[in-house]
Amino acid sequence: MAGSLHFPLVTMTRRSDLKACAAFAILCEACHPQVRLKPDTTTDTRTTVQRDIDSILSAPELARGSWGVLIKSLKTGETLYSLNANKLLLPASNMKIVTLAAAAEDLGWNYTYTTSLRAGGAVLGGVLDGSLVVVGSGDPSLAAADGVADRVFADWTSQLKAAGVRSIVGGVVGLDNPMDDEALGAGWMWDDLVEDYAAGVGALQLNEDAVRVTVSPGPAVGTSAGISVTPFPGALTIDNGVTTAAASVQPVLRARRLPGSSRLELRGSIPLGQPPVALAVSVDNPTQFFVDALRTELIRNGISVDGPARVASRNVQASGRPIVEYRSPPLSVLAVRLMKISQNQYAETLYRTIGGREGVLKVLQPWGVTPTDLVQRDGSGLSRYDLVTPQALVTILAHVAGDAALKGPFEASLPVAGDLGLTNRMKGTPAEGNARAKTGSMTAVRALSGYVTGADGEPLVYSIIANNFEVEAAVINRATDAIVVRLAQFKR
Q: Which of 342, 380, 413, 449 is catalytic?
A: 342
123: how many CB neighbours lie within 10 A of its CB? Answer: 19
Q: Which of 96, 380, 438, 449 is catalytic?
A: 96
Q: Is 216 marked active-site?
A: no
**CA pair distance 264, 280, nearest whole angstrom:** 12
Q: Is 383 marked active-site?
A: no
Q: Is 96 marked active-site?
A: yes
User: Which of these, 413, 449, 419, lies nearest to 434 by C-alpha position?
Assistant: 419
Amino acid at 314: R
Q: Which of 55, 72, 73, 93 is catalytic?
A: 93
Q: List the catalytic residues.
A: 93, 96, 342
